[in-house]
Chain A
Amino acid sequence: MSSLTESRTRVNPVRAIKLRPNNRLDSWVAPLLTVVVLLNLWQIISWASPLREDLFPGPLAVAAKLPQLLADGSLVSAVGNSLFRAVSGFAIAVVISTPLALLLAHQPLLRKGVGPLVSAMQVLPSIAWVPAAIILFGLSDATIYTVLLLGAIPSIINGLLSGIDMIPAQYKSLSKVLGASKWEHVLHIELPAAMPGYVAGLRQGWAFAWRSLMAAELIAVGGSLALGVGSLLQRGRDLADLPLVMLVILTILLVGVLIELVFFAPIERKLLRDRGMSRTGENNG
């Protein structure tokens, strides 16, 4: 018996692999937890810091600023004004960029000439346009919209172009054998096929639009311009009010992230799910 036992190796049963469905909660809990940890760290460092609270405010001091800004309505009105500018400017950028990208995709010579310029524009920080826009349009909404459009348009164009570039060559053959005209090909095959690249471009275009808007509002203050979040930031600087500055920075971040989460992320998720694809990093839980 003992020799028999020695000749055998005991194999322990493999622990069952736990399969669980993709938990949407996971994608919220992890970043939320990180934010809570960071806020706590920030508060602790602020308390431990030898600097005065007005020079290095913690999150509690920043939050204490909120009731005052809500009471005088300046934060709500600034966020409202900025959001209106961002959304309407972004919509104009989409209307301009989409046909331009389609034109470039179908005119190789034009693309060779204009394509590198579009990419160069994407590299140029849009804040660089602010002085020129102020000289041309003064302290008006036109200045803000110019900077915003110049920031967003190149990203949207490049997004749609790269979406079109990635369309499998067989779709063109399919169009031809199905007897599609050029416009039918664009409408029924090219645009839907390029949609993932297009949405990625829109997402990036939105980020650029929001950033450009903040840069423009920060510099272009006064005149006929209504108060925006960027101008509120400038006000904080003028008053040397660091809690106000920090509160506005957090608001800018929050609005940008919220639009991303509420608008772009679901669209992208649906697009990928409809095509049997998933984003890298998803379903890893």
Chain B
Amino acid sequence: MGVLLNEVSLSYPGTGLVIDRISAEIEDGEFIAVLGASGCGKSSLLNMIAGLLAPSSGWLEVPKDGAAFMFQDANLLPWLTASENVDLALKLAGKPAAERQQRVEELLNLVQLGHATGKKPHELSGGMRQRVALARALAQDRQVLLMDEPFAALDAITRDMLHEQLRALWGQTGKTIIFVTHNVREAIRLSGRILVLSSHPGRILETRRITDDLRNNPAQAAALADELTTILRKEQRKHELTDRIPN
């Protein structure tokens, strides 16, 4: 069992209900995308799975050792080099110094950054920073990897390259990946299942299985992308309308 969500809700004082009774079973080794318009509560859902937020009601089950997390803006520590950023995750996981150095090299090579180990975050491009963040997340050596729109701020070419790398890494490591995004094509390209969330509050609207056949068939993938985009637009409009109507 990967992650289990049972009737999970979240509300903030002032903003009210953000997540409304979400239930889902995420299998071990599954790559799942949580798709929704901006501000629909998908990041809050991820934060709950990571243990950064507690649900207001319902419950969830995650593996005992928790989940690794990859933030939207890399969140690297600017005073540490790429390898020191990765090393910190290993150090905090209690790994002995002797095995850390080799592991850091392995992980940075895995994300094809073996040449940039001594570089500080400000000396790296946006895509490289995200790859260091990915290496750091992998350093935590946890079965579940949570990714909060990690490629949203990147240009199309870099994003494309990172999509390939992430798919390859998932194939190699067999991790359970929960990938939050507002990008329909990204969700189709990466995941095996998509959970589409409604806006305000976030509820599961649709669940779609993505097979390799569909992913590799441009016409089918485009049709699904159009369909999901229409759903998201409708949600967005509904939300804008509710915002305009005074209570």
Contact = CB atoms under 8 A, between A and B. Distances in A.
A276 B71 contact: no
A39 B230 CA distance: 76
B68 A177 contact: yes
Given A192-B77, A274-B120, A180 B71 contact: no
A24 interface: no
6 contacts: A174-B71, A176-B52, A179-B93, A274-B120, A276-B120, A276-B121
The range of chain A's interface size is 10 to 19
Interface of B: 47, 50-52, 66-69, 71, 73, 75, 77-79, 88-89, 91-93, 120-123, 140
B82 to A, nearest CB: 13
A80 B120 CA distance: 41
A275 B88 contact: no
A178 B89 contact: yes
B92 A184 contact: yes
Contact of A276 (B66, B68, B73, B123): B123
Contacts of A265: none
Given A171-B77, A276-B123, A178 B52 contact: no
- The secondary-structure label for the interface of chain A is helix
A280 interface: no
A100 interface: no
Interface string A177-201: 1111000100011001101000000
A180 B122 CA distance: 24
A178 B65 CA distance: 11
B75 A178 contact: no
A162 B106 CA distance: 38
Return the 4 tightest CB-CB contacts between A and B, nearest first: A276-B122, A177-B69, A275-B78, A178-B92
A235 B52 CA distance: 64
Contacts of B47: 173
Contacts of B69: 173, 177
Q: Which residue, of A178, A195, A275, has the highest number of chain B Cβ atoms within 10 A? A: A178
Contact of B88 (A173, A188, A195): A188
A188 B140 CA distance: 16
A9 interface: no
A284 interface: no
